[in-house]
Amino acid sequence: MEQQSSILWGIAPIGWRNDDLPTLGADNTLSHLLSDVVVAGFQGTEVGGFFPEASVLKKELALRNLRIAGQWFSSFILRDGLEETAKAFDKHCQYLQDVEADVAVVSEQTYSIQGLHQSIFSKKPCFTDEEWVKVCQGLNELGRIAESYALKLVYHHHLGTGIQTAAEVDRLMANTDSVVHLLYDTGHIFVSEGDCMTMLEKHIDRIQHVHFKDVRKTVMEQCRQAGKSFFQSFLSGMFTVPGDGCIDFTKPYEFLLKSSYQGWIVVEAEQDPSIAHPLEYAMIARKYIDKTLTSIRSKESVY
Ligand SMILES: O=C1C[C@@H](O)[C@H](O)[C@@H](O)C1=O
Ligand SMILES: [Co+2]
């Protein structure tokens, strides 16, 4: 398979085990996951909540020639204050540096309804002006901590949180320093806005990490109609891997190439592993990447 040298392809552990709903895939071990990542031809993954201490993980990675892209961090700047959040984040960054990761994925989870039984389509929280100032200042501080560990803080816009919509991402980018980068997640922005190109085009200069998550449009509309929660929606199959849903990934991928994006593209689809076999879905993504995406540059170079 062809790989573009400036882009690293990863797949997230969420298809095997789900940190938001830890009963999903609880029997899937680290060895199983990492070996599947190799079989499906990916170069790395992100750290899941069940991953072991750094030295153990590093050995398992080295055995398979895999790398760690980064790991999710739920910040609670508004709920717990910056001091407490920064302390926890510092520890998080130390671990990520130990496993030689590139990015620290941050999402402000104060007031988040991500884990609650409330409609993900209509009940998202909004920050007040005062809260926006606190969140942005706090993220600047966390961004500086990440830099001190040679990591990039990449902010994950997320359904059901105070920073979900295109307008909220615009506000975040306008009010944070360059130490706060952006994670572009196709699935979250598509469900929120019905489009995933506007945000990409607008903020490409700040985007330092990418999640390619696909959406099953009919399921999304049914979930919206029924007012389903985030958990209910993904358990109904709202998300899937690229090549299996409605997003045409050639558009964001071509734009990333045109913009000389350098970094990870991580395939990520929360699904129930007892229904969506993780390796089978990883292979669906692999096939789509090879046949439809990475062939783009080689086709172009013929002319
Ligand atoms: O990157 C992600 C990490 C998950 O824990 C989160 O809930 C998911 O939606 C996501 O995009
Ligand atoms: Co994501």
**Neighbouring residues of the ion ligand 2, judged by CB less than 5 Å:** 185, 211, 268
Q: Ligand 2: distance of its center to the CA of 301 in Å?
A: 32
pLDDT of residue 5: 63
Three-state secondary structure call for residue 227: coil
Segment holding 106, helix H or strand E:
strand 103-108
d(CA 141, CA 69): 22
pLDDT of residue 296: 79
ipTM of this predicted structure: 0.97
Binding pocket residue ranges, ligand 1, CB within 6 Å: 14, 19-20, 72, 156, 185, 188, 211, 268, 270
pLDDT of residue 299: 58
Q: Within a 13 Å sphere around the CA of 107, how many CA atoms are in the beta-carbon half?
A: 21
- Evaluate whether 87 touches 132 at the Cβ level (below 8 Å): no
DSSP state of 290: I
DSSP state of 264: E
Return per-residue pLDDT of the chain as tens, 303 residues.
444 569 999 999 999 999 989 999 999 999 999 999 999 999 999 999 999 999 999 999 999 999 999 999 999 999 999 999 999 999 999 999 999 999 999 999 999 999 999 999 999 999 999 999 999 999 999 999 999 999 999 999 999 999 999 999 999 999 999 999 999 999 999 999 999 999 999 999 999 999 999 999 999 999 999 999 999 999 999 999 999 999 999 999 999 999 999 999 999 999 999 999 999 999 999 999 999 999 876 555 443
pLDDT of residue 301: 47
d(CA 67, CA 61): 6
Q: Ligand 2: distance of its center to the CA of 241 in Å?
A: 12
Q: Ligand 2: distance of its center to the CA of 72 in Å?
A: 9
> For strand 180-185 and strand 214-215, is the pairing parallel, antiparallel, or unpaired?
unpaired
Query: How many Å from the N-terminal Cα to the C-terminal Cα in the chain?
Result: 21
Taking the domains of the chain in order of start, what are their residue ranges?
7-300
Fold of 7-300: TIM Barrel (3.20.20)
